[in-house]
Chains A and B, each alone.
Chain A
Amino acid sequence: MKLLYFAWLRERIGLGEEEVTPPSSVVTVADLIAWLRLRGPGYVEALAETARVRCAVNQDFAKLDTIVRPGDEIAFFPPITGG
């Protein structure tokens, strides 16, 4: 699956996008976040507070219990500050 990071999540993780192949035990967005936190201190710092992290799966806003599948585009970002 393709992961995208925006704003301060991108800065903390140190990249804007990457391809990953999580184990089959990763079923939901929450599972994916828990797995990503094992990838290094930048991920831990970016994803520490799930209350400050928003997510989209295939360009639609998603929740922690949204299912993720191989081939999905999953974006992580802070709460929106547009307009």
Chain B
Amino acid sequence: MAFIRVGPDDIDMATEIACLQSEPGEIGGIASFLGVVRGGEGHSAITAMTLEHYPAMTEAAIRRVAEEAEARWNLIGCRVIHRVGRIPVGGRIVLVLTAARHRQAALESTSFLIDWLKVGAPFWKQEHLISGKDHWVEAKSADDLAAQRWLVVAPPD
């Protein structure tokens, strides 16, 4: 059963893993991706980042794709936690956890979910530069390509 949470609170990875492990089913592996605010260098060095989202749409959009991942990789469960608001350098932004009977399904579905979140969930990042200026992060075409590759990769048996 997919668990989705979007909000300002920090992410406690150990608690989230324990929750996922308590799901009924014969779990053979849990894979994770934890996204963290990078500091950058030189003129692009930042102190923090602010994440804005479209509240009425975000959770429903993530839930749709998380349920798709559960069906495609026959997952025992998954958790997607995405923070919003201001997060300092080094702070946790997003956690994706997936539980499956075997590692390949857990690892691939985690990669699928984070690739999709980059382009498919309505979040926008604003960087707060050390110079005091603010700047909205531009979308990368590489992220579109990363998400698109999952349209052609066949799921494991």
With beta carbons under 8 angstroms apart, the residue of B121, B126, B138 that contacts A82 is B121
Chain A residues, CB < 8 A from B53 = 6, 82
Chain B residue nearest to A8 (CB atoms) is B136
CA distance A75 to B53 in the complex (A): 11
One digit per residue, 1 when the CB lies within 8 angstroms of any chain B CB and 0 when it does not, for chain A 1-34 equals: 0001011100000000000000000000000000
Chain B residue nearest to A56 (CB atoms) is B57
Segment of B7-15, B38-46, B111-119 engaged in the interface with chain A: B111-119
User: How many residues of chain B are within 8 Å of chain A by beta carbon?
Assistant: 29
**Contact, CB under 8 Å: B123 / A82:** yes
- Which residues between 100 and 132 of chain B lie within 8 Å of chain A, taking CB atoms? 114-115, 117-126
Which one of A4, A73, A77, A81 has the highest number of Cβ atoms from chain B below 10 Å of its Cβ? A81
Which one of A7, A75, A77 has the highest number of Cβ atoms from chain B below 10 Å of its Cβ? A7
Chain B residues, CB < 8 A from A75 = 54, 57, 122
Count of CB-CB pairs between chains A and B under 8 Å: 72
Interface residue? A78 (CB, 8 A): yes
**Contact, CB under 8 Å: A77 / B56:** no
Chain A residues, CB < 8 A from B125 = 81-82
**Contact, CB under 8 Å: A81 / B138:** yes
**Contact, CB under 8 Å: A73 / B56:** yes
Least distance between B27 CB and chain A CB atoms (Å): 25
Which one of A56, A59, A81, A83 has the highest number of Cβ atoms from chain B below 10 Å of its Cβ? A83
**What is the interface of chain A, defined by CB distance below 8 A to chain B?**
4, 6-8, 56, 59, 73, 75, 77-83
Minimum-distance CB pairs A-B, first 9? A82-B123, A79-B139, A7-B124, A83-B117, A83-B118, A59-B57, A81-B137, A81-B125, A82-B121
**What is the interface of chain B, defined by CB distance below 8 A to chain A?**
35, 51-54, 56-57, 60-61, 82, 93-94, 114-115, 117-126, 136-139, 143
Can you show 18 pairs from A to B with CB atoms below 8 A apart? A6-B53, A6-B122, A56-B122, A59-B54, A59-B56, A59-B57, A78-B136, A79-B138, A80-B120, A80-B121, A81-B123, A81-B139, A82-B117, A82-B119, A82-B120, A82-B122, A83-B93, A83-B94
